[in-house]
Structure 1
Amino acid sequence: MRLYEILLVLSSLSLLLCVCLPRLIPQRFVVMISGASTVVLAMHLFMEGYRWQLYAVYVIVVLLLLLQLAKYLFKIKRINIWSPVKWVVCGLLIILIGLSTVVSAYLPVFQLPRPDGPYAVGTQTFHFTDSNREEIFTERKDDKRELIVQFWYPAAEVEQQKTEYLLASSKNMSKQVARAYAEQMGLPGFVLEYWKYVRTNSYENAKVQPTNTPYPVILISHGMGTGRMLHTSQAEHLASQGYIVVAANHTYSSTATELKDGTIAGSKTNFTVDQFYAPNNLVGQVWTKDVEFIIRQLGQLNGGQIKSTLNGKLDLNKIGVMGHSFGGATAFNAFYNNPNIKAGINMDGSLYNVDNKTKFTKPFMFMESGEYLTKKHEMETKKLTDAELADIQLTRPQYENMVRSVKKEYGIVDKVAQHGGTMVVVDGAGHYNFTDLQLYSSFTTFMGMTGDIKGERGADIVNKYVLDFFNKQLKGVGGELIKGPNPQFPEVEFPLD
């Protein structure tokens, strides 16, 4: 909880004490507590902003302040209330304050971890339109593929600047984006609106840190139905270590994408398991082409055709790619097909388009959640009954096709490991421990989205191993962590060693 939120809760309890135990609190202290509570409430609303989790506290504080004001104005020394009624009311108010405090603590205005690299982090956002591609997710005639692409980079001279907000800069946009994420999680729309108060560690349009050599580039691809926002701390961490990081929302496959015309595009992507594992996975092709298009745009940006302070600062001979879930599979697909990409990471993503992938000459790393080995063993040994298949809504041919594809995926992983690649399994991590969602609230564990590992620890492990891999492959330094087990990170296993 934020400072004034904590003070406000303490104020509400102090005011309640003045009402419940009037004989024990001298009048001068009642006046002091009332005045301090008024200041705290005003400071909280003005400096931090209200949020629904504290509505009960707001109502209680205002009512108790009005009660004290009425007693002062009408010179009422004591209000006589039948003792049982008074204690029942006080007890109920304490319970309401407690519940409000607990919800506020579990759904906090969270802070992303500060990057630990030597550079401050700047950020810029662009809208790119691929005039050579029709948009397949809309029915508008001549609609071209539009992407919103955010850059993070080493920055200089940020002392007088404020960090940017995590959500859209416009209040209306922020509300729409937060509501879209809430609905995606099956929550009422208002529940996540408090995300509008969260700031990042990035400075918008900050100057680029001067350098004699251009910075290596890393592209990030988010998971299906999420967005680049969930990889902000990963991008900031890499940028603080001397990388230019690029992440796009895959439009109409992300939770909420701000289009150039000011509208919000939601997710319109639906496909079955059969379509996922089909050799012509259409959505996968769109995402892979997004990555390829962005790389072409990087060339124009670096060459000055797109005006920016980033002109000439990108080392396009050192491009890495990483992604989570479907974005991790996209990262692998783009890595395999595009010679400009020198190294890649897949974070807990099942591969698609697994046929005819036999030549591996570049390093790749798979990062998997703790359940990976269990699922692999079950897939290789367990035969599902017709009833079990009905529960997961798969026919026998669909399931057998999925098993064949997954086994091909395991074969690809083994081949990658033989050509300078590796796999790490993070014990205790769930699927979304490879995103910033693990930092938002511990409720994600109760919802089954993240594992038992604490969010800060999970984020630290991901950031350190990602950095170590790219440092070795793109900068030729480091590489100690990805060699094998390390006592500092006992959660990390190397199952292919």
Structure 2
Amino acid sequence: MIVVHILWLFSFLIRFDAKVKIITNITALIFLMIHLGFEGYRWQMGLTYILFIFLTVFTLKSFIQRNAEKAIVESMKNKRKDKKYLYILFIIIYSLGSFGLVTVMPVFQLPKPAGPFEVGMNSRHLIDESRHDSEQNVRELMIQIWYPAEVEDDVKDIHYESFPYEEWSGTMEFIFSAPRFLFEYLKYGQTNSIKDVAVSNQEDKFPVLLFSHGYGSTRMQSFSQMEELASHGYFVVSVDHTNDAAFTKFPDGREIMNQTDAYSYSFDIEDETDVKRRSRDMSYVLDQLATINDKDPQGLLTGKMDMDRIGIFGHSYGGSTAAQALLDDSRISAGINIDGPLHEPVASSGFEQSFMFILDDDYLYIPDEEIQYTNITPEEFQKYHDKITELADFHYKEGIKGDTFMLTFIEGDHYTFTDFPFLSPLLSWNIDVNQFHQVMNRYILAFFDHYVKGEEPDSLLRKEKKEDKFYYFRANIKNH
């Protein structure tokens, strides 16, 4: 559609016959109707919509009045040479602006899961009346459940869910203070999840993995990773930590935004209040999953979750939560921390279960130009950074009693572990995001397959040390 508009602009510059302009106009109209009818409008195309109206007016005018261009030139009192320069400048601006916007903020499709199962998805609204906080009368949580799905062989047209733009636009508003409508186009993104489809009968029941999001993020932050794990035979349950999440929307339409500043994270490993609350969220969700598994009010998940095989993982502050939950809840047999710090009391006591650290090579490092937005000085941050790095290394070596693993990525950054890079090529510059996620997910699957499913350890975990230009891996097998 944009290409046709550029050709159309050249037709005014080169002075094509009016009939050629009419044909181009009709072609542009056809593309516009197809775009709006099958894709829907999005603001990145706003310049093209406006240009279509103006060019249509000029085209009709030139068709009726052959000397329209001459009249315009006279009214502007410019020479034809000056007019051509203006046309060329406008064509360049339009081309760069239009192609730039749809390239930088594209409509995308999440990568296809590699596992043998289709992926189902279900959401639940949970109310914990035993707990209260300042923002809510009772503790309310939204959870998202992905699971191995059963799709009939004769089903030809599978309806996959759209990308969760409401949660993501709310998150982007919190992080960047940007209006939500700028991210409304995300609703055109495609996932690989089927809403409320039947659970697969290939196995009697499937193990459960809990996921905790990062500070000021959303339970939808790692959608593609949830799909990947579910496609390999897991129930994956992601929890919105209400008030700590950037944005939570409940089924009745209520919305709760995080009221703090995006940079107000506490750089203090002694500050255990929030991580303990998150850990209680995870234990409460496990309680509710057990109830749903006994008798699901929706008649969908009854008896399909193996509540004796449970793992947990999380990103950033969610990684801190995963570690805390392992200390607090003995039902969880293994956990993974994806680029998160360890807080007290885990920092001092450790725990018994097996654990994997998945870290960026710069492990939560913040440059000085970003530290100015936080509530600490560069010197205070350096002290904090040295401490969390020391703790991760200590617990990998001996502080955690179970087997421990350390997977460190040389490329990427803190947000590459999530779905953020799929939103824009600017967030994945010089990074092969698909390879990054494939490597990360292979190690996560190998870890949970062994320590949650009880399968024989994958060869990935048996290698005590592996290095390449992309990542390096270390294994500390303590329980031979």
Could you say which TM-score interval applies, normalised by the shorter chain?
0.7 to 0.9
Within 5 Å, give how 1:34-433 maps onto structure 2.
34-72=25-63, 74-76=64-66, 79-80=69-70, 81=73, 82-94=79-91, 95-134=93-132, 136-138=133-135, 143-157=137-151, 159-167=156-164, 174=166, 178-268=169-259, 276-278=268-270, 281-304=272-295, 306-354=297-345, 357-358=348-349, 360-372=351-363, 393-394=376-377, 407-415=390-398, 419-433=402-416
Are residues 402 and 273 of structure 1, via their aligned partners in 2, closer, same or farther at CA, if it must alter by over 3 Å? farther
Instruction: Say if 2:471 is the partner of 1:479.
Output: no
Instruction: Determine the C-alpha separation between the residues in 2 that align with 1:232 and 1:127.
Output: 18
Instruction: Say if 2:437 is the partner of 1:459.
Output: yes
What's the RMSD between the two structures over aligned residues? 3.2
Are residues 416 and 320 of structure 1, via their aligned partners in 2, closer, same or farther at CA, if it must alter by over 3 Å? farther
Q: Which position in structure 1 is the counterpart of 2:76? A: none
Deviations 1:67-118 (A, max 9, x none): 222223x252662244223312322321223222112101111221111211
Matched-pair contact (CA < 8 Å) for 1:151–1:246: yes
Are residues 116 and 408 of structure 1, via their aligned partners in 2, closer, same or farther at CA, if it must alter by over 3 Å? closer
Are residues 37 and 416 of structure 1, via their aligned partners in 2, closer, same or farther at CA, if it must alter by over 3 Å? farther
Instruction: Say if 2:424 is the partner of 1:441.
Output: yes
Matched-pair contact (CA < 8 Å) for 2:310–2:332: yes
Instruction: Say if 2:477 is the partner of 1:491.
Output: no
Are residues 66 and 369 of structure 1, via their aligned partners in 2, closer, same or farther at CA, if it must alter by over 3 Å? same
Q: Report how many residues are paired.
A: 460
Are residues 375 and 179 of structure 1, via their aligned partners in 2, closer, same or farther at CA, if it must alter by over 3 Å? closer
Which AA in structure 2 matches 1:207? Answer: A
Give ranges in structure 1 of 5+ residues lacking alignment: 1-7, 169-173, 377-383, 447-451
Instruction: Determine the C-alpha separation between the residues in 2 that align with 1:286 and 1:21.
Output: 68
Are residues 477 and 213 of structure 1, via their aligned partners in 2, closer, same or farther at CA, if it must alter by over 3 Å? farther
Are residues 274 and 106 of structure 1, via their aligned partners in 2, closer, same or farther at CA, if it must alter by over 3 Å? closer
SS of structure 1 residue aligned to 2:217:
coil
Are residues 90 and 220 of structure 1, via their aligned partners in 2, closer, same or farther at CA, if it must alter by over 3 Å? same
Are residues 184 and 396 of structure 1, via their aligned partners in 2, closer, same or farther at CA, if it must alter by over 3 Å? closer
Deviations 1:329-383 (A, max 9, x none): 10111122211111111000001114575464321100000213x969xxxxxxx
1:160 is displaced (CA, Å) by 3.5
1:464 is displaced (CA, Å) by 2.0
Which AA in structure 2 matches 1:455? Answer: V
Matched-pair contact (CA < 8 Å) for 1:363–1:416: no
Which AA in structure 1 matches 2:160? Answer: T
More displaced, 152-161 or 248-257?
152-161
Are residues 33 and 400 of structure 1, via their aligned partners in 2, closer, same or farther at CA, if it must alter by over 3 Å? closer
More displaced, 393-402 or 355-364?
393-402
SS of structure 1 residue aligned to 2:302:
coil
SS of structure 1 residue aligned to 2:394:
helix
Are residues 253 and 453 of structure 1, via their aligned partners in 2, closer, same or farther at CA, if it must alter by over 3 Å? same
Matched-pair contact (CA < 8 Å) for 2:466–2:473: no
Matched-pair contact (CA < 8 Å) for 1:358–1:412: no
Matched-pair contact (CA < 8 Å) for 2:326–2:332: yes
Matched-pair contact (CA < 8 Å) for 2:466–2:474: no
Deviations 1:118-156 (A, max 9, x none): 11111010100011111x241x5xx11000111111112
Instruction: Determine the C-alpha separation between the residues in 2 that align with 1:189 and 1:70.
Output: 39
Matched-pair contact (CA < 8 Å) for 1:182–1:191: no
Matched-pair contact (CA < 8 Å) for 2:352–2:400: no
Identity of aligned residues (%): 27
Q: Which position in structure 1 is the counterpart of 2:9? A: 16
Deviations 1:468-494 (A, max 9, x none): 22122223145222334568x641212
Instruction: Determine the C-alpha separation between the residues in 1 that align with 2:88 and 2:313.
Output: 53
TM-score by length of 1: 0.84
Are residues 274 and 57 of structure 1, via their aligned partners in 2, closer, same or farther at CA, if it must alter by over 3 Å? closer
Instruction: Determine the C-alpha separation between the residues in 2 that align with 1:77 and 1:220.
Output: 67
Give ranges in structure 2 of 5+ residues lacking alignment: 74-78
Are residues 123 and 116 of structure 1, via their aligned partners in 2, closer, same or farther at CA, if it must alter by over 3 Å? same
1:28 is displaced (CA, Å) by 4.9
Matched-pair contact (CA < 8 Å) for 1:354–1:405: no
Which AA in structure 1 matches 2:178? Answer: L
Are residues 350 and 226 of structure 1, via their aligned partners in 2, closer, same or farther at CA, if it must alter by over 3 Å? same
Instruction: Determine the C-alpha separation between the residues in 1 that align with 2:389 and 2:335.
Output: 20
Matched-pair contact (CA < 8 Å) for 1:332–1:344: yes
Write out the 4+ residue segments of structure 1 that deviate beyond 6 Å after TM superposition: 270-275, 388-392, 395-402
Which AA in structure 2 matches 1:153? Answer: Y
Instruction: Determine the C-alpha separation between the residues in 2 that align with 1:223 and 1:165.
Output: 22
